[in-house]
């Protein structure tokens, strides 16, 4: 019975093709993620993109992306004349969380 191959069931072939496609897409996403100029704050936290779901609150997302109520964010959109905190330091999310005497 040489030359006769056992047929592979269709669901197995589809599962294999899906896994290969997923690997290719994640590789392409990683390449674009590494070479992008935007999103560097999030890049510092997540070096490898993944499809894992994170259950973050709105406030955690705003904090991580620096889209929250920070002086630098308001200054960027000309909603504030300066990006300095009341303590006279430039406020970023890291400074706000770790060093600002007004939030300790």
**DSSP 3-state of 18:** helix
DSSP 25-83: HHHHHHHHHHH-SS-HHHHHH-SS---------HHHHHHHTT-SS-HHHHHHTTSSS--
What predicted TM-score, i.e. pTM, was given to this entire model? Answer: 0.52
Q: What is the pLDDT of residues 38-95, one digit of tens each?
A: 877 778 777 788 888 888 898 888 887 777 777 778 888 888 888 887 777 776 777 7
Q: Are 30 and 49 in contact (CB under 8 A)?
A: yes
Residues 6 or more apart whose CB falls under 8 angstroms from that of 85 comprise 71, 91, 95, 96, 100, 102
Whether the predicted pLDDT of 104 surpasses 60: yes
């Amino acid at each position: 019975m040489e030359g006769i191959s056992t047929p592979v069931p269709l669901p197995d072939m589809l599962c294999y093709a899906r896994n290969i496609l997923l690997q290719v897409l994640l590789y392409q996403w990683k390449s674009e993620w590494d070479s992008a100029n935007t999103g560097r704050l999030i890049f510092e936290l997540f070096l490898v993109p993944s499809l894992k779901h994170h259950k973050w609150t709105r406030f955690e997302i705003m904090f991580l992306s620096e889209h929250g109520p920070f002086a630098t964010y308001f200054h960027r959109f000309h909603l504030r004349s300066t990006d300095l905190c009341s303590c006279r330091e430039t406020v970023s999310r890291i400074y706000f969380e770790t060093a600002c005497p007004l939030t300790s």
